[in-house]
Structure 1
Amino acid sequence: MTDAIRYETGPDRIVVLTLDMPGQSANTMNAMYREAMAACVARLAVEKDSIAGVIITSAKQTFFAGGDLNELIQVGPSQAKAFYETVLGLKAQLRALETLGKPVVAAINGAALGGGWEICLACHHRVALDHPSVLIGLPEVTLGLLPGGGGVVRMVRLLGLEKALPYLLEGKRIRPQQALQAGLIDELAADRDDLLTKARAWILANPSVVQPWDTKGYRIPGGTPSDPAVAQTLAIAPSILRSKTQGCLPAPEKILCAAVEGAQVTFDAAHLIESRYFTELVTGQVAKNLIGTFWFQLNEIKAGGSRPHGFAPFLTRKVAVLGAGMMGAGIAHVSAAAGIDVVLKDIDLAAAQKAKARCAALLDKQVAHGQLTAAQRDATLARIHPTDGEADLAGCELIIEAVYEDRALKANVTAAAQAVAGPDAVIASNTSTLPITGLAKAIPDESKFIGLHFFSPVEKMPLVEIIRGAGTSDETLARGFDFVRQIDKTPIVVNDSRGFFTSRVFGTFIHEGIAMLGEGVSAPMIETEAKKAGMPVGPLAVSDEVSLSLMSHIRKQTAQDLQAQGKMPTEHPAFAVIDLLLEYKRPGKAGGAGFYEYPAQGQKHLWPGLKARFENAAGQIPAQDIRDRLLFIQALETVRCVEEGVVTSTADANIGSVLGIGFASWTGGALQFINQYGLPAFIARCQYLAEQYGERFSPPALLLEKAARHARF
């Protein structure tokens, strides 16, 4: 038997199949696994009269990681038929296990996700280690796929359509206790010995078992799609799903189709349906975009791809946060949750205490949802120390300034904090636009200064943009990187420039939307087409959230800085619209009115005055042009950031654009959007947009040069 699966028969006649893929930290459904499982199944069929049952477990830290993404990303439309048949072969192996005529138990010793959970579903009984490292679920949808090893078919038959869909459509992952309550696993074990003991005991107590769906007269829990209650729910499900995906993400729609269609036919026919949809997704471009970025590039970042080498990992024990607004409170919350002591300083002690109360409210929600115990909440809260005194900053290894976007104010608070914390402390600014090199001049040693740009709301947003100033040392950068990983955020590293990377690119999105309004394009059309392009929020809505008054302030600050350098600032066509809205006393959501109305009762809605003041028949443009203007302008600005050396890694650009500013996730990020479009076709479309809508769409030299070399980003 191959080393990938060890086949061992004990004195109790129970066969233990131990999954242990050589040369890999995790087991995956690659060619070696398929060959090994085929051999195991064949041997079990021969020996079945002499065995009592089968236990499947793993020698790795995890149980089984799922499909081999290195294989899947390579499968193109021309290999669809061969791939489809491979999938059917893999499923036939699992079917042979569950119809062996002997009890088969999954002894789940670690995370069982995707294909790993599909192996478990093909077992008659599931015992899981009761440990925080154990996660159960089917996250394929997050990579543009569906569970193709029988996950859709068996989850629907085990739980029913209504209860199975959250696991399938949302990639919901749960811990062992929750899995036991949900009926996904049957028993919990205290340790590995207990795990195998319970598996053996169940096999000996249940010599003759069949899967529920193989018993005569079995009905899917809750009923099939033809049952009136289920039919009523399913009637609205596609429209709810489309409102979330806007048709940009095919996987959730294919999952719904496979689940509903599969529930109306035999078990075997349902597998064929699932396999066809799976093959369609695997060979499609969206899955390749998502796998490339959210698996390979994200893992590259988390492994420290952008971290300077030669520095030992640094563990931050005490951090100071200057400024107790929403951002400051959020940074304090995530730091304390990661086990770091936090000094939360504001000139107003009451404001600092209020920020701590906000953290307490967030923690209370987590307790209510079963994500934290009361003791864990209390311990986290005890790490946050509100203050209005400089002396409390002594001993802080990292100081994060999170005050208003004013250069003089930032300089004053960082200089005062650094004087108390001492020369070894790293000083970071949470600025979203002001160049770090200039802010660093506030402290004596500029090598200790760095930008740590968080996104709001901090507790939910996964990204932190680390900005390296001209004087920032490699050691400081490494310490900043380690802190971001310590608080469980994803770091991207960029070099200093105005607006850095994310704010620069995001600015082009909102400015383009506002410019279209100024040209006469209908406001509802702009907002709707932005969502259809895959952006989570329309540019007018997000401008209100940012605030038009803040945008105006940043523009004036930029103009002053450029004039001081002897440069002429360029006026974007969006600014005329922003100025007009400010004249109308409509500064944004915080001011009670902006592009949208914010009634005290009822939902926000676009201000009717936009139609009268801006919209005109001559300004209407094709819907595709609206979508392309919003995506292309961001992709072009990303190329300029690469060209200028602001961004030095494709992974940082793609991950930063999606996680930081919400660039359409189906594309895999701003640079992958260009790659998957094809550089020559992308350039041709840019030239059309430049002729129609302005020189800002002209392709940069780097893009032209890459296309000439037939290269990609």
Structure 2
Amino acid sequence: MTETIKYTVDGDVAILSLDLPGRSMNMITEQMMRDLDSLIDRVSTDPAIKGAILTSAKPAFMAGADLTMLAAMSKKAQTTPVEDALEHCMTLSKLLRKMETCGKPFAAAINGLAMGGGLEITLACHYRVVADDPKLQLALPEVKVGLLPGAGGTQRLPRLMGVQAALPYLLQGRSMSPQEALGFGVVHKIAPLADVVNTAILWIREGGSPVQPWDQKGFKVPGGSGAMTPKIVQTFMAAEAMLRRETKDVYPAPQAILAAVYEGHQVPIDAALRIEGRYLTSIILRPEAANMIRTLFVNKGEADKLIRRPANVEKKKIAKLGVLGAGMMGAGIAYVSAQAGMEVVLIDMSQEAADKGKAHAVDLVEKDVKRGRMTRDKADALLARITATTDYAQLAGGDLVIEAVFEDVKIKADVTARAETVMPGDSIYASNTSTLPITGLAEASKRPEQFIGIHFFSPVEKMPLVEIIVGEKTGDAALARALDYVQQIRKTPIVVNDSRGFYTSRCFATYPTEAIAMLKEGVKPALIENAGLMAGMPVGPFAVGDEVSIELMYKVGKATKAALGDAYQPHPADAVAEYFVTKLGRIGKKAGKGFYDYPTDGSKKHLWPGLADEFPPAADQPSVDEVKERLLYRQAIEVVRCYEEGVLKAPADADVGAIFGWGFAPQTGGPLSMIDTIGLPKFVAECDRLAKAYGDRFTPPKLLRDMAAKGETFYAA
């Protein structure tokens, strides 16, 4: 009796239906591997069974390995001898090799999505038939969580479709459709969903071979193989160069995948699988994979399931939404909300401004229609749900109103008062402010317990994170409704407490401002910009400074200084930002000039040559590692301060918010994961060195010193 795989017999063919109990999607677990092992023995030793079909009792075939299992495996590997860790990492690989050499033919009837280890299981089958569904995806996306396909994926896929064709699917985790898979030889046949199992059964009964192509004499990898084959040499030379350009050598998994394919495709399959296993073990033994799995999937998954939602509030869908302000943010909020099926009232001061906001949604919809992502009927229905107006009376009957007007307290107070005169008594009011404290803005409200912050990131339609800010008087009903809304528009929420700049804006700002401080010191701007990318940040600090605008940094700095008075801590970047705005008129990308020049002839942007005149480079330049450390450590210290001050509710919110909010180096798993990995005593000591060299902004918070002294970590639990 097996727990995760249903075993039935159709005459002389066994049918193994994957069916992980209690889950909507099949995943590879320790129990499933044990069950598959016993069923392979059962099939191979039963003389009445000609062969077996692997399929799924669920709509999808399999989503891959249980990431919590992989995280545990990574943790266990840290304290296990390397050879033992290798054997453990190769458990599934050996099991699949056992299946394909057991002497009986196995066929995969792929009825739905097959990802990661799920696809690797099918590749170890002798025959693969897939359902005729263009939306069905086949992929090996392990690289996206800092891993490599370690159950034969790096070896079987190139042997089926050729090395050159396979590399993008391995290095980028790209998906292929059934038709693409058939064209590449990854599957043997496409059949209607209702016929996939019968098609596989027929193949077995007609004498399907129990021997894989790579186990047959004279097998050759499609497209060539070997270190001396010109086409292969060219492929790997180009792949290595492209990989370095794209990843800056920050992520170990792509390098390991490339090496595993290069070495493995030249040797027999058993040796190749051993090579793959060694590379998987080397990755598992590093902290990047465990950190990325925990933050990008486990903790993000919990956030998506609304782990911070008050349990005492009944769940409610937002049917009607009001958006105040039809600029880029407001228009983006209107679009994603209408996309989720809500009726949206988009309000601005003039009809022209409101219509311009809706026009942004029209542009987005038309692009989707043109690219085949949306039908005309659905596009028209989406746009019909957005009403552009100046009439606040149309907010009547709404469940939620989101204000997205200028960052001015008086303007925000005015629209709050106007909206509340027509809003239902139980509806929620939210501000999309990025810096102004919610508690202060709520003073303009007659019902501050129903006032909350819902901070989006630009562009709204692309950015996955939403920051929910709880004011001093915000009630559970407001928090629950805000979280329900974020889930409804399919974004990831984090919940933080109120403060100036909240969490993401406050911590993100340290990235460009530290770069500006280095520029003022005479560090070469190209060194700073490239070091940011080499640290794992998606965009260099000067490029991102131009994107958010130097003018905005200057204005936020002035407002913060005015609000804090004597408590304000001056920053070396303050004077530089003021000089750029008031003297040079270089305010950022929107003006066509900032740290970068943006040529009007369409040529590529480039760092402004005048930077060298305004900030002459020093004779002695720091190392790349020193610059990388300053950029990452400065952000991480501010995150710890937010945690110490109670702005953050949990380490998971810190790391999920940092990666999905402003792109903090994903390979670290987030700033608090990075500190845990470095070790708190070592991190504190390095902060003290940086503080002595560059200023008090690097001084480690008391919380960090206390934790280091006690041997604590952020993720100890």
TM-score normalised according to structure 1 size = 0.94
Say which is worse superposed, 230-239 or 683-692, in terms of deviation: 230-239
- Partner SS for 2:421: helix
- Partner SS for 2:422: helix
Say which is worse superposed, 62-71 or 175-184, in terms of deviation: 175-184
Alignment of 1:432-581 (within 5 A): 432-563=434-565, 567-581=566-580
Among residues 170, 173, 176, which one is paired with 2:175 in the alignment?
Answer: 173
Give deviations 1:48-76, integer Å, cap 9, x for gaps: x4323211123455433433324323233
C-alpha distance in structure 2 between counterparts of 1:59 and 1:223, whole Å: 39
CA contact (8 A) 1:30 1:71 kept: no
Instruction: Give yes or no for the alignment of 1:672 onto 2:673.
Output: yes
Instruction: Give yes or no for the alignment of 1:595 onto 2:632.
Output: no
- Partner SS for 1:420: coil
Instruction: Quote how far apart the aligned CAs of 1:689 are.
Output: 0.4
Instruction: Quote how far apart the aligned CAs of 1:507 are.
Output: 1.2
- Shift of the 619–579 alpha-carbon distance from structure 1 to 2, 3 Å rule, reads farther
Instruction: Quote how far apart the aligned CAs of 1:301 are.
Output: 1.5
- Shift of the 401–270 alpha-carbon distance from structure 1 to 2, 3 Å rule, reads same
Among residues 275, 278, 285, which one is paired with 2:277 in the alignment?
Answer: 275
Say which is worse superposed, 168-177 or 106-115, in terms of deviation: 168-177
Which residue in the other structure is 1:16 paired with? 15
One-letter code of the match for 1:450? Answer: I
Instruction: Quote how far apart the aligned CAs of 1:568 are.
Output: 3.8
Instruction: Quote how far apart the aligned CAs of 1:133 are.
Output: 8.8
Among residues 251, 265, 268, which one is paired with 1:266 in the alignment?
Answer: 268
- Shift of the 213–336 alpha-carbon distance from structure 1 to 2, 3 Å rule, reads farther
- Partner SS for 1:50: coil
Instruction: Give yes or no for the alignment of 1:686 onto 2:683.
Output: no
Which residue in the other structure is 1:56 paired with? 54
CA contact (8 A) 1:73 1:292 kept: no
Which residue in the other structure is 2:221 paired with? 220
Instruction: Quote how far apart the aligned CAs of 1:183 are.
Output: 5.2
Instruction: Quote how far apart the aligned CAs of 1:587 are.
Output: 1.0
Give deviations 1:64-99, integer Å, cap 9, x for gaps: 343332432323343431132234453233223234
CA contact (8 A) 1:446 1:471 kept: yes
Among all aligned residue pairs of Structure 1 and Structure 2, give the percentage whose two residues are the same amino acid. 48
C-alpha distance in structure 2 between counterparts of 1:143 and 1:690, whole Å: 34
C-alpha distance in structure 2 between counterparts of 1:648 and 1:39, whole Å: 46
One-letter code of the match for 1:31? Answer: E
C-alpha distance in structure 2 between counterparts of 1:435 and 1:275, whole Å: 51
Which residue in the other structure is 1:709 paired with? 710
One-letter code of the match for 2:87? Answer: E
Which residue in the other structure is 1:106 paired with? 108
Give deviations 1:354-384, integer Å, cap 9, x for gaps: 3333323323333444433333333323322
One-letter code of the match for 1:586? Answer: R
C-alpha distance in structure 2 between counterparts of 1:519 and 1:186, whole Å: 63
- Shift of the 24–380 alpha-carbon distance from structure 1 to 2, 3 Å rule, reads closer
Which residue in the other structure is 1:156 paired with? 158
Runs of 5+ unmatched residues, structure 2: none
Instruction: Quote how far apart the aligned CAs of 1:124 are.
Output: 2.8
Which residue in the other structure is 1:386 paired with? 388
Instruction: Quote how far apart the aligned CAs of 1:24 are.
Output: 5.9
- Partner SS for 1:66: coil
Instruction: Quote how far apart the aligned CAs of 1:135 are.
Output: 4.0
C-alpha distance in structure 1 between counterparts of 2:347 and 2:192, whole Å: 44
- Partner SS for 1:421: coil
C-alpha distance in structure 2 between counterparts of 1:13 and 1:105, whole Å: 14
CA contact (8 A) 1:75 1:282 kept: no
CA contact (8 A) 1:112 1:135 kept: yes
C-alpha distance in structure 2 between counterparts of 1:15 and 1:569, whole Å: 73
Which residue in the other structure is 2:617 paired with? 616
CA contact (8 A) 1:706 1:712 kept: yes
TM-score normalised according to structure 2 size = 0.93
Instruction: Quote how far apart the aligned CAs of 1:625 are.
Output: 2.0
Which residue in the other structure is 2:4 paired with? 4
One-letter code of the match for 1:54? Answer: A
Which residue in the other structure is 1:33 paired with? 32
Alignment of 1:206-245 (within 5 A): 206-208=207-209, 210-224=211-225, 226-245=228-247
One-letter code of the match for 1:283? Answer: L
C-alpha distance in structure 2 between counterparts of 1:551 and 1:168, whole Å: 41
One-letter code of the match for 2:445? Answer: I
Among residues 326, 329, 342, which one is paired with 2:328 in the alignment?
Answer: 326
| Number of residues of Structure 1 aligned to a counterpart in Structure 2 | 707
Which residue in the other structure is 1:136 paired with? 138
Instruction: Quote how far apart the aligned CAs of 1:400 are.
Output: 1.2
Instruction: Quote how far apart the aligned CAs of 1:430 are.
Output: 1.0
Instruction: Quote how far apart the aligned CAs of 1:610 are.
Output: 1.1
Instruction: Quote how far apart the aligned CAs of 1:643 are.
Output: 0.9
- Shift of the 190–323 alpha-carbon distance from structure 1 to 2, 3 Å rule, reads farther
C-alpha distance in structure 2 between counterparts of 1:382 and 1:183, whole Å: 45
- Partner SS for 1:300: helix
CA contact (8 A) 1:367 1:374 kept: yes
Instruction: Quote how far apart the aligned CAs of 1:514 are.
Output: 0.5
- Partner SS for 1:675: helix
Instruction: Give yes or no for the alignment of 1:46 onto 2:48.
Output: no
- Partner SS for 1:73: helix
Say which is worse superposed, 594-603 or 52-61, in terms of deviation: 52-61
Instruction: Quote how far apart the aligned CAs of 1:611 are.
Output: 1.1
Which residue in the other structure is 1:357 paired with? 359
- Shift of the 541–177 alpha-carbon distance from structure 1 to 2, 3 Å rule, reads same
Instruction: Give yes or no for the alignment of 1:637 onto 2:638.
Output: yes
- Shift of the 339–199 alpha-carbon distance from structure 1 to 2, 3 Å rule, reads farther
Say which is worse superposed, 635-644 or 135-144, in terms of deviation: 135-144
- Shift of the 168–668 alpha-carbon distance from structure 1 to 2, 3 Å rule, reads same
Say which is worse superposed, 422-431 or 450-459, in terms of deviation: 422-431
One-letter code of the match for 1:33? Answer: M
CA contact (8 A) 1:454 1:464 kept: yes
- Shift of the 195–461 alpha-carbon distance from structure 1 to 2, 3 Å rule, reads same
Among residues 360, 373, 377, which one is paired with 2:375 in the alignment?
Answer: 373
C-alpha distance in structure 2 between counterparts of 1:285 and 1:181, whole Å: 38
- Shift of the 278–329 alpha-carbon distance from structure 1 to 2, 3 Å rule, reads same
C-alpha distance in structure 2 between counterparts of 1:190 and 1:207, whole Å: 20
C-alpha distance in structure 2 between counterparts of 1:178 and 1:355, whole Å: 39
One-letter code of the match for 1:552? Answer: Y
CA contact (8 A) 2:134 2:179 kept: no
C-alpha distance in structure 2 between counterparts of 1:426 and 1:183, whole Å: 55
Say which is worse superposed, 649-658 or 623-632, in terms of deviation: 623-632
Among residues 275, 286, 309, which one is paired with 2:288 in the alignment?
Answer: 286
C-alpha distance in structure 1 between counterparts of 2:650 and 2:574, whole Å: 32
One-letter code of the match for 1:315? Answer: K
One-letter code of the match for 1:508? Answer: T
Runs of 5+ unmatched residues, structure 1: none
C-alpha distance in structure 1 between counterparts of 2:455 and 2:145, whole Å: 27
CA contact (8 A) 2:317 2:485 kept: yes
Which residue in the other structure is 1:120 paired with? 122
- Shift of the 18–165 alpha-carbon distance from structure 1 to 2, 3 Å rule, reads same
- Shift of the 458–269 alpha-carbon distance from structure 1 to 2, 3 Å rule, reads same
Give deviations 1:105-140, integer Å, cap 9, x for gaps: 223344322111110111233344567995432121
Instruction: Quote how far apart the aligned CAs of 1:142 are.
Output: 1.4
- Partner SS for 2:546: helix
Instruction: Give yes or no for the alignment of 1:651 onto 2:652.
Output: yes
Instruction: Give yes or no for the alignment of 1:66 onto 2:68.
Output: no
One-letter code of the match for 2:272? Answer: A
Instruction: Quote how far apart the aligned CAs of 1:100 are.
Output: 4.1
- Shift of the 456–703 alpha-carbon distance from structure 1 to 2, 3 Å rule, reads same
Instruction: Quote how far apart the aligned CAs of 1:592 are.
Output: 1.5
C-alpha distance in structure 2 between counterparts of 1:606 and 1:244, whole Å: 20
Instruction: Quote how far apart the aligned CAs of 1:484 are.
Output: 0.5
C-alpha distance in structure 1 between counterparts of 2:115 and 2:420, whole Å: 46
